Structure 1
Amino acid sequence: MGFTLLDGVIIVLYLVAVAVFGIWSAGTQKSSTDYFLGGREMPWWAILFSVVATETSTLTFISIPAVAYGGNLLFLQLTLGYILGRIIVAIWFLPAYVKGEMTTAYQFLEKRFGSGMRKAASSTFIVTRLLADGVRLFATAIPLAIIFRFAGVFDAWGDGAIYLLAISVIAFITLIYTFLGGIKAVIWMDVVQMVVYIGGALFALILMLGKIDTSFMESLSILSSEGKLTLFNFGGGLSIQEFLADPYVFWVAVFGGAVFSIASHGTDQLIVQRLLATGDLRSSQKALIWSGFVAAAQFAFFLLIGLMLYIFYSGAGLGELGLRTTDEIFAKFIVDHMPVGVAGLIIASLFAAAMSSLSSSLNALASSTTYDIIKPLYGQEWDQEQELWISRLTTIAWGIILTGSAFLFTWLQLSGDEQPAIVELGLGIASYTYGGLLGIFMLGRLFNKPDKTDAMIGFFTGLISLLFMVEGALQQFLPGEPLTIAWPLYTLVGGVIVIAVANASFYLRKWVRN
C-alpha cells in the first residue's frame, strides 16, 4: 500500500517523543554513579528488558524471519546455550562484581592482575565496540533503505543518501537523551522501545494471519511436511570435522552458545553495566537469567513470522518475488500489505531497535573510558560535578566517533565490489575478542599462580592466535590455513588458548628463574 505522508508524520512524532521521554524518565543526574549506574537502584525487571533490547538490532527484526523463511527452526538450539551461559554468569561472575561494588567489569581484572591488565581488557572492549557498533549503526540503514526502495521513497537520493540520513537521525536523537539522562534514560527507553518494536512486529503478524487462506493448524501441517519445523539436529552421520564445522549441530550450538553467552554477558561492559545498576545481587541474577528466556521467546516469535511469511508467499523463490536476498522478505510484506500509517509504525519500530542498541553502547563506552582509562591516567580524585561533566563529554565524543565509524562503513560498503568483506570483518570482531576476554576472566577466577605478566602474555596470544586459526574475513590477509570450526566455538578456542599460554608462561618463567 506504499509509504504515505501519515507514515512520515508518525516517524517524526515518535522520534520527538523518544527524546522528550528519555530525558524526563532519567530525572536529575548528580554524580557519575547516577549517570552510569542509575544510583544502583534500577528495578530488576527494567534491567531484564534493557538487556534484551540491547541485544536486539534492526537486523534481528528483519533477518531472523528470513532465517525461518529460507530454512527451519534449528537456530533456536543456540538459545538453549544462551540461557545456560547466563545462569553460569549469574551464579559465578555476578557475586564477584556486586560484592566488590564495581563500576566496570574490568575492575575485577585490576584487583587480580593489576592496572595494566584492566586497561588492556577495557581497550579491547572499546575497540570491539567501536568496530562492531559502527557496523551495527550502518546496518540499521539497510532495512530502512530496503523499505524505502520498495515504497519508492527518496528515489532520487539513492541508497547512500538514505543510509547517511538514517544514521544521522538515529545517532542525533539517541545522543540527546543518553547525554542528558545517562543509564536511567537508556534503560527506561529500552523498555519503551522493546514494547514498540515487538508491538509493531506483532501487528504485522496478526495482519498476515488474517490474509492467509489456510487455518493456523493447516499451515503448521504444511510447514511440517516441508521440514520447516525441524528444531533439533544431533549431527548423526557427520565426520568429526563436519560435526565441529556445523554451527547448528545440537551439541555445538548449545555448548558454543553457552560459552559465547558467558563471554558476552559476563565480560562485556555493555551488559555488565546494566546488571550493576541494580545494586543488589539477587536482582541482578533475576534480570540476567530471565533475560535469557525472554530473548529465546523473542527469537521464536520472529522465526514464527518467517514461517508465516513462507505460507503467505507459498514458499516462492527470490526471483518470483523480485527480491535480492531473503532478508528483504519481511520488508516486502511491510510495504505491500501494511495499512496507511502502520508502515510508519513499523519503521519507528526499526528505529527503536537501533536506538536501544546504540544508546547502550554509548553509555557503556563512556563509562569504560571514564573509569578504566581517563581516571586512572590522571591519577586524581574528581568531585562529583567534575566527574559527571567528564562523563558527559566522553558520551558526546563517542557519539561522534561511532557516527563517523558508521559513515566509514557506509562508504566501504557502497564504494566497490570487494568492500562487503570489510563489513564482515567488523561484524566478526566480537567473535575474535570475546575468547580473549573470557579466557582472562576465567584465568583470574580459576588459577591463583599466574601473575600479571603471564596474564598479559596469555591474553594477547589468545587474541592474535584466533586471527590465524579461525576462518573469516581476516584470513585472506594472513598466511596458513584456517582451523575450520563453527562460529559458536570461536570464543571457546580463544579462551582455552589464553588459559593454556598463561599457565605455560608461569611454569616456564619459574623454570628459568630456578
Structure 2
Amino acid sequence: MDLQTLDYVLIFGFFGIVLFIGIYVSKKSGKSSSEYFLSGRTMPWWLLGLSMVATTFSTDTPNLVTDLVRTNGVSGNWGWWCFLITGMLTVFVYAKLWRKSNVKTDLEFYELRYGGKAASFLRKFRAIYLGVLFNVITMAAVTLAAIKIGGVMLGLEPWETVVSAGLITVVFSALGGFKGVVYSDFLLFFVAMAGAIGAAYYLVNIPEVGGLEAIMENENVKDKLSILPDLTDKKAVITMLIIPLAVQWWSSWYPGGEPGGGGYIAQRMLAAKNENHAIGATFFFNIMHYALRPWPWILVALASLVVYPDIASIHEAFPNIAEDKLGHDLAYSAMLTKLPSGLLGIVLASLVAAYMSTISTQLNWGSSYIVYDFYKQQINPNATEKQMVNVGRLSTVILMLLSALLALALQNAMGVFNLLLSFGAGTGLIFILRWFWWRINAWSEITAMFSSGILAIVLETTQLGDLLFHADYGLFPDWAELPFIMIVTTIIWVTATFVTQPETKDVLRSFYQKIQPGGPGWAKVVADAKADNIIIMNSKEKWSVPSGITAMLLGVILIYTIMFATGYWIYGETSLALILTGVAALSAFLLIKAWGKMKDTIL
C-alpha cells in the first residue's frame, strides 16, 4: 500500500503528540505510586469514561467483530454484547462500593474482605495470575491484531510491527503512568472514532461494494444482517443468545467485563474524585461501548463479505500473509487498504491510537498489581515511593516484552477470547456475591479460580475435551462446554465455602463498617455485633441495591434499544427504528427518575 506524504504527517504527528503527553506528565507521575497508578484520585467522570472507551477500542476489537460477523452474522456479537448486563450492574451497584473501599488496586480488596494467610495468598497469587498471565495473554491478542494490520496494510513482517508499535507504547507508558494514559486517551478516543466512522462511510460506498442497498441485497450478506440469531436454528439460538444472556454475563470473568467490576475498570473507579464520578464514568463508558461504537465495525465487516467472500479470496489478494495468520479477522485490514490518502493516514493513526490506548492501560494496570500486590507485599514491605515507581516502570517493560513474544506465536483473536471466557467460567458469581453475603471466604475464591482454570485447560488440551464436547462423537454439544465448567466450578466453590471456616468476626465487622453493603446477606453479622454492643450499621445509609437493580434493568433496556435502533436506522427499517427509539426515550426518562432516588447528582 502506497502511503503519501499527508499520511506520514498524520501518523508521525500523532506519535509526537502522544510522546509529548507522556514526557510532560512524567515528572508529576513519578512523585509517588498513588500518582503513577491512580493520578492522586482526582479524575473527573467524563475523562475516566472516555479513557475506558478508548481502552476497549483496541486493535483486536474490530478484527474480532469482523470475525464474528463474517462467521455467525451480526448476531454473533451477543458473545460480548451480553456483558452490558455486567456493566450496568457495576454502574448502579458496585461503582459506589469500589470507591468507598478506597483501596489502591482491586486486589487489595482481598485483605479488606478476607483475613489470614488465605487472603494474603489470594492477593499475591492473583497479582501474578491476572497482572502477568492474563494480562500478557490479553495484550498478546491486541498485538496479534496489530501484526495482521501491519502485514496487510503495510507489508510489515510480524517482528517489525511488534518492535515499531511496542517500542513507542512502552516508552510512553513507562514515563507517563496512569495520568499519561488517561490524558492521551482523551485524544485517542476522538482519533479512533473519527477513523472508524470515516472508514465505514467510505468503504460502504466504494464501487466494489456499491452502497448500503447493494450490501443488503448481496447474497453473501443477506443471511448475516439479523441482530438476533435465526430463531428456527436451535443451536444458533442457544450458542449466540441463550448462553450469553442466561449464563455467560454473570458466570465468566473477562477483562473489561468483570462481574462486580474489577481490573482496569476498577482502577478508573478508584481514581475518580468521589462515588458520583465513579458512577458517571462507568455509565458513560457503557453507553459508548455498546450502544454506538460497534456499528462502524459491523458495516465494514458486512462490506468485506462483498469484496472478500471467503478466506481464500483474502489469501489471493494478499499472498504474502503467512498461512498461520490467515482468518476472517484479516478482512477488516484488507478493506482498509482501499482507503484514499489522507483518510488512510487518519485511519492508520486511529488504529495506532487504539493499540496504544489498550496496551498502555493494560501495562499500567498490570504493573500496579505487581507493585502493590506482590512486590510490596512479598518482597519489600518497606519500599519507598520512589522504589515502587521504579519497579512499576521496570515491570511495564517486562510485561510488554512477554506479550510481544506470545503475540508472535498466536493465530486468531477469537480463539483467545473463547479461552479467556473458559478460564473465568464459574468465578463470576463469587465476584457479585462477595460484597453481599458474609459466608463467602477466601477459600471460595481460591477453589473457584483453580477449578475453572484446570477444567478449561483439561477440556481444551486433552482427549477428554474431545470425548465430551469437540468431536462428532462428543457426549454433549459443543455449546455446553462453558455451562459445564460453570456448573462444576460453582459446585466446587460452594462446597468449599461451607466446609471451611468463615472469616473472623473482626474481619467481617471491619468490612461492613467501612463499606456498608447492607442487605439480608449481612443480617447475621449485624445482629451478632449488636449483641456484643457494637454498632457497625450506619442508620443514615439506606440499602440501595433494590433501586440499583431497577436502574440496572432500565439501563440495559436503554442501551440495547439505542443499539438496535441505530442498526435499524442504518438498515432503512424506519418503522422498527422509530418504535425502538421511542422505547429508548421512555426508558431514559424512567432511568433518570430511578437514578434520582439513588443520587442527587452524578457530577
TM-score, normalised to structure 1, is 0.80
| Residue 254 (str. 1) matches residue 245 (str. 2) | yes
- 1:118/1:181 CA distance change after superposition, 3 Å: same
Contact preservation (8 Å) 1:35, 1:181: yes
Contact preservation (8 Å) 1:79, 1:257: no
Contact preservation (8 Å) 2:38, 2:267: yes
Which of residues 267, 275, 281 in structure 1 aligns to 2:275? Answer: 281
Contact preservation (8 Å) 2:25, 2:179: yes
Tell me the alpha carbon deviations over residues 81-112 of structure 1, each in whole angstroms, 9 at most, x when there is no partner. Answer: 22211111223332332111011112222222
Deviates more, 1:221-230 or 1:111-120: 221-230
- SS of equivalent to 1:12: helix
Contact preservation (8 Å) 1:4, 1:340: yes
| Residue 105 (str. 1) matches residue 106 (str. 2) | yes
Matches within 5 A, 1:52-451: 52-65=53-66, 67-69=68-70, 71-78=72-79, 80-113=81-114, 114-126=119-131, 127-149=133-155, 162-212=157-207, 216-217=212-213, 219-220=215-216, 226-233=222-229, 235-236=231-232, 238=234, 242=235, 246-248=238-240, 250-256=241-247, 258-259=249-250, 264-265=257-258, 266=260, 268-296=262-290, 297-310=292-305, 313=307, 316-319=309-312, 322-323=316-317, 325-335=327-337, 337-378=338-379, 380-382=381-383, 386-410=384-408, 412=409, 420=411, 428-435=418-425, 437-442=427-432, 444-451=434-441
Contact preservation (8 Å) 2:107, 2:126: yes
Distance in 1, matches of 2:489 and 2:252, equals 18
Distance in 2, matches of 1:215 and 1:173, equals 38
Distance in 2, matches of 1:388 and 1:75, equals 47
Contact preservation (8 Å) 1:37, 1:103: yes
- 1:288/1:331 CA distance change after superposition, 3 Å: same
- 1:439/1:205 CA distance change after superposition, 3 Å: closer
Distance in 1, matches of 2:430 and 2:248, equals 19
> Aligned letter for 1:500?
I
- 1:409/1:200 CA distance change after superposition, 3 Å: closer
Compute the displacement of 1:180 (Å): 2.1
Deviates more, 1:66-75 or 1:92-101: 66-75
Compute the displacement of 1:431 (Å): 1.9
- 1:494/1:282 CA distance change after superposition, 3 Å: farther
- SS of equivalent to 1:22: helix
Deviates more, 1:178-187 or 1:256-265: 256-265
Compute the displacement of 1:186 (Å): 0.6
Q: What RMSD in Å do the two structures reach over aligned CA positions?
A: 3.4
Aligned equivalent of 2:3: 3
Compute the displacement of 1:145 (Å): 0.7
- 1:116/1:320 CA distance change after superposition, 3 Å: closer
> Aligned letter for 1:481?
L
Aligned equivalent of 1:15: 15
Distance in 2, matches of 1:446 and 1:496, equals 21
Deviates more, 1:354-363 or 1:164-173: 164-173
- 1:440/1:302 CA distance change after superposition, 3 Å: same
The higher-RCO structure (CA 8 Å, 6+ apart) is: 1
Compute the displacement of 1:295 (Å): 1.4
- 1:475/1:398 CA distance change after superposition, 3 Å: farther
> Aligned letter for 1:332?
A
Identity of aligned residues (%): 19
- 1:136/1:309 CA distance change after superposition, 3 Å: closer
Contact preservation (8 Å) 1:81, 1:256: no
Contact preservation (8 Å) 1:267, 1:438: no
Tell me the alpha carbon deviations over residues 397-432 of structure 1, each in whole angstroms, 9 at most, x when there is no partner. Answer: 33233324422441x35xxxxxx59x8876555224
> Aligned letter for 2:348?
I
| Residue 502 (str. 1) matches residue 493 (str. 2) | yes
Compute the displacement of 1:233 (Å): 2.3
Contact preservation (8 Å) 2:251, 2:429: no
Aligned equivalent of 1:28: 28
Gaps of 5+ in 1: 155-161, 414-419
How many residues end up aligned between the 2 structures? 475
Compute the displacement of 1:494 (Å): 5.2
- 1:50/1:476 CA distance change after superposition, 3 Å: farther
Distance in 1, matches of 2:305 and 2:197, equals 17
> Aligned letter for 1:180?
L
> Aligned letter for 1:461?
S
Distance in 2, matches of 1:388 and 1:496, equals 46
Compute the displacement of 1:356 (Å): 0.8
Distance in 2, matches of 1:69 and 1:424, equals 12
- 1:301/1:373 CA distance change after superposition, 3 Å: same
- SS of equivalent to 2:239: coil
